[in-house]
Structure 1
């Protein structure tokens, strides 16, 4: 079958033809098409036992599962209605949320509003996590002030101050590591069970890092924090106890599950090397559904993406999971959709997984899978190699300052962008099965600060093409249109016709039978050889200045008197091809309909 598919003699496939079905991830990890008992690895220790591959704890309440962490305060700004935030917070807690994540300062909820937002929250039952970026000190002070007035038993309060100074550096902000260390010392000495430092891997993921790069960079940042915390007066175990890891969960189910398992394994190894007690290497993991995978076009598909991501994170052993609302890539949301609906769908995605599918009732359900165990081991090895590369460069801050970190991540981002552009990494609703009739979104993509890692969504190149089409529609009253010239009976060319129509729509281009400057010939390779030259001549006679071929160039008869002006074929750079088509189709928009 493989020889037939590749159109070669079976003898040419070599001694291990099955290896031709292998794929390689952006981190260089090889994935086999099939895993068998021959791939079995030694069984890792049970959950709760060093190195925590199978789970951070063996004592998780399986009737509850992982923590459902909902986010509040993002984008509310100085004029935020703290009462409305409090209403939303209480509603979430009454309807299934188990912990709260507040983004504070700047364009988010003001620090002064935190106390009102937490009014009525039992802090000894609902852990609170802060995220304030460069305003980490002010945010922490606001929460500590809340603790001074709470009626809760402080010994039962669990909270995370969310200082992430290295993430602030990555985003082009000031160096606040000393301030974070001071907060960590205060948190360690506080009566409440407070932790302080977030090792945020999502910033690397959002910039385009592969899974192993995300883990390796997070390890390097974690070690940088440990050095600073121990230099600031904390012993190794206390320093380890101040860290929580934030990891991106994507719709690549097995990769996300293996990433979380590998992350725990690697950090346990770091804790062992620095002399910590075995239990100190069990840092909490907070999984957040990927912002990079979210699309502005057909945002409803984001519900499917986040459901798979939440599933993978829960199966992978995350301690808490946050599902981003399906319209989070749109600054103003989806027209006609309330913020409360989007937030409810995000929260209920997890509740369905926990309360109806009962995913939390089994610890490490993927454990023992030949594929997952092998992928966990391979990711661990690749991540450790990247971590040691950063350490050899002088550590996290040195690698960031020298540009090494950005250079390595940018190379991966380029490779992924190429796959997206060539539709090897299909995006449903964007590069595949787009809806040209949907209302155009309002994009407010901001450029990265100088020296900062960029934040990129994978759908952006195709969305930029759609934005051009929407602008043309608004100016002229019609979308850019290409004339399809189908050769032969429908049953013969229907597959290629559907493929071509889908491709054009991904760039905001309508396909139809009408006249226009661009025509695309659509048929089988055999039909091109028999009827192609005559169809090409007819298209030119009908006024088409550009005639393209749907299919590979080799399908056209080489001895034909005229050749198409180009082609549309699988594997080619669709973004570049569609951009050129839009250049041709929108070159003259002077005739605007009245």
Structure 2
């Protein structure tokens, strides 16, 4: 982080910064109702945001950052931070779409339709119903020398590889690009299917004899699925890549041949600038590894990007379209070789009821195509290059990611760190912090812990199933919504809590709105009877009809009528009285609420407790 108050900058810029400092101080003075002379000149530092990796993000970046860091990297040149190639014939990034879990003929029809509709890279996911023997039918009409392939075959990767080799030989052609997707080292982290490390090594030895074939996929999305931060996903992926290279060299491949067998895959979230920087950093760090191994020019390993499963919600899944658009934008701008946008209802088994698979895939595909062909992002090499913020963030994130990699290496390498429990402990700790941030609504998820749609049609019970192998951000709140849906199905209405608004609408509206939003995120319907005055019949009627209430008003109103309102609620037999606000509102009061709802609570735990009390 650059300290703008201490950096030597040109006089003109210095004057502009001074003006900005004063403007920020003026805003703080107004909000705190103080004289501007009582506000420190460096009050802007309160606007600094720190990422989970400990990277400080300034509210403003200027030429001062450039003068300190000297951004001199060039696109297409080592260390490839700004992209591995500058190719005038190929604009943008590849559009990836994955097929499987259907009959071979249906898969073939879907593949041909996708290729005619803008998809350029074909992913295949194999299962009991779609096997290596089905590839000939599934790939009918596909030119292997024109469409790159990305394979997800788990334990049958070797069989799929053999089938693909046979098809290419029968067609008398070579592969445009083939990533066989063997991923035993990363699969052990999230429990995804893979072949064994011995099979992976042999697969790579065989693949090294063919053109444009890479056997190994370092799947960073496995780390993302378990809660990894950006620096951890990069650092652990680089460590796994080094582990593979060592094993391949031990198996008889040259270092050069081993490096040519490695490809990477990273998950991208809707945290736009962090994801742009993540992909840039991943290339820079792998370039450093290749440089140490003596082959810096081989740091151009494919970098597949896929929208992160962790960010997908089951509730209000349409919002996933927005999340995916931001993620795909970041991946493309960040320099990914190709980008796969998962369908918006990926987190729901069999998708949203009534929504065709063709529609879901078309929206996912078109997300990429709109960015490429209508926004024309592919016409610019490294669009983020030169941004004071992105370049600075890239440098800072690179330091954090290299520290993760170095720590893993210090333990003896990736496999040793996995065996000792270091990797699991690292991911568990980071996930718990993320979970806590979501639970307290510090990390906001639209449609989940912010602005939930309680009127949304419930998912069928058989689709309220948590996807395996991923720690989703929305999981805790969606589990509460599931309880609410089950209660609705049994009782014909959702769990309800009555609000007790004190004072006129113009004053209580902020806290009644906050309360309604908070309760809805847990599947609880907030009943708002309008302004209530303690001692009136309307107040007594509302209190007698409720088992749990939330008092809502301004701090001033609490000071004037709050204690009396709580006393009257107790007399009416209300079992549990909560207050929208802070405990300081009732310090020293003889009649205080039983609890408080505000921005500092663990909302997920509080809502779970309320559902328990409501019998849901």
Matched, 1:22 2:48: yes
Task: Write the distance in 2 (CA, Å) between the matches of 1:457 and 1:363.
Answer: 33
Matched, 1:31 2:57: yes
Pairing partner for 2:525 from 502, 510, 515: 510
Structure 1 residue 164 corresponds to structure 2 residue 183: yes
Contact 1:136–1:163 (8 Å) recurs in 2? yes
The reply on whether 1:499 has 2:514 as its aligned counterpart is: yes
Gaps of 5+ in 2: 1-26, 530-541
Whole-angstrom distance in 2 between the partners of 1:562 and 1:494 = 24
How far off its partner does 1:195 sit?
A: 1.3
State which drifts further: 309-318 or 52-61.
52-61
Question: 2:121 aligned to 89, 92, 99, which one?
Answer: 99
Q: Structure 1 residues 542, 112: closer, same or farther in 2, change over 3 A?
A: farther
Q: Which has the higher contact order (CA 8 A, sep 6+)?
A: 1
Q: 2:13 matched to which residue of 1?
A: none
Matching of residues 63-82 of structure 1 within 5 Å: 64-73=91-100, 76=101, 80-82=102-104
Q: Which deviations, in whole Å up to 9, do the C-alpha atoms of 1:72-123 show, x marking residues without a partner?
A: 11xx2xxx311111111110000000110111135x7322222211111111
Question: What does 1:470-549 align with in structure 2 at a 5 Å threshold?
Answer: 470-512=485-527, 513=529, 515-549=545-579
Question: Tell me, what secondary structure is at the counterpart of 1:189?
Answer: coil
Pairing 1:330–2:348 present: yes
Q: Answer yes or no: is 1:379 the counterpart of 2:393.
A: no
Give 1:258 shift. 0.3
Match of 1:61 in 2: 89
User: Deviations along 1:337-366, whole A, 9 cap, x unmatched?
Assistant: 011100000000011111100010001010
List gaps (5 residues or longer) in structure 1.
448-453, 588-594
Give deviations 1:403-445, integer Å, cap 9, x for gaps. Answer: 1011111111111111100101110001111111222232332
TM-fit CA distance, 1:7: 7.0
| TM-score (normalised: structure 2) | 0.89
Aligned to 1:177: 197
The one-character-per-residue Cα deviations of 1:265-314 (angstroms, maximum 9, x if unpaired) are 000000001111x2201111101001000000000000000000000110
SS in structure 1 at match of 2:309: coil
Structure 1 CA distance, aligned partners of 2:490 and 2:271? 39
Aligned residues of 2:183 and 2:194 also touching (Cα < 8 A): no
Which residue does 1:127 correspond to in 2?
148
2:610 aligns to what SS in structure 1? Answer: helix
Instruction: Kindly report which structure 2 residues correspond to 1:28-427, keeping only aligned pairs within 5 A, or say none.
Output: 28-40=54-66, 41-59=69-87, 61=89, 64-73=91-100, 76=101, 80-106=102-128, 109-151=130-172, 153-154=173-174, 157-172=176-191, 176-190=196-210, 192-276=211-295, 278-427=296-445
> TM-score, normalization: structure 1?
0.92
Query: How far apart are residue 181 of structure 1 and its match?
Result: 1.6
Deviations 1:365-411 (A, max 9, x none): 10000110011111111000000101111111111111101111111
Superposed CA deviations along residues 531-573 of structure 1, whole A, max 9, x for unmatched, are 11222233334442101000111122x3432110101011211
Indicate the larger mover: 117-126 or 457-466.
Answer: 117-126
Could you report, residue by residue, the CA deviation over 1:476-499 in whole angstroms, capped at 9, with x for unpaired residues? 111110001101111111111111
Contact 2:190 2:225 in 1 (8 A): no
1:468 Cα deviation after fit: 0.8
Distance 1:186 1:547, change over 3 A: same
The 1:29/1:12 distance shift into structure 2, 3 A limit, reads farther
Q: Distance in 1 between matches of 2:251 and 2:33?
A: 66
The CA distance in 2 between the partners of 1:67 and 1:157, in whole Å, is 12
SS at match of 1:54: coil
Aligned counterpart, 1:574: 603
Structure 1 CA distance, aligned partners of 2:52 and 2:607? Answer: 26
SS in 2 for 1:27: coil
How far, CA to CA, are the matches of 2:314 and 2:503 in structure 1? 38
Aligned length in residues: 569
SS in 1 for 2:218: strand
- More displaced 10-residue stretch of structure 1: 575-584 or 510-519: 510-519
8 Å CA contact retained: 1:44, 1:53: no
Distance in 2, Cα, partners of 1:133 & 1:56: 29
**Per-residue Cα deviation, 1:160-190 (whole angstroms, up to 9, x for no partner):** 1111121233244787222112111211212
1:450 alignment counterpart: none
Q: Distance in 2 between matches of 1:570 and 1:249?
A: 28
* Alpha-carbon separation, structure 2, partners of 1:98 and 1:175: 27
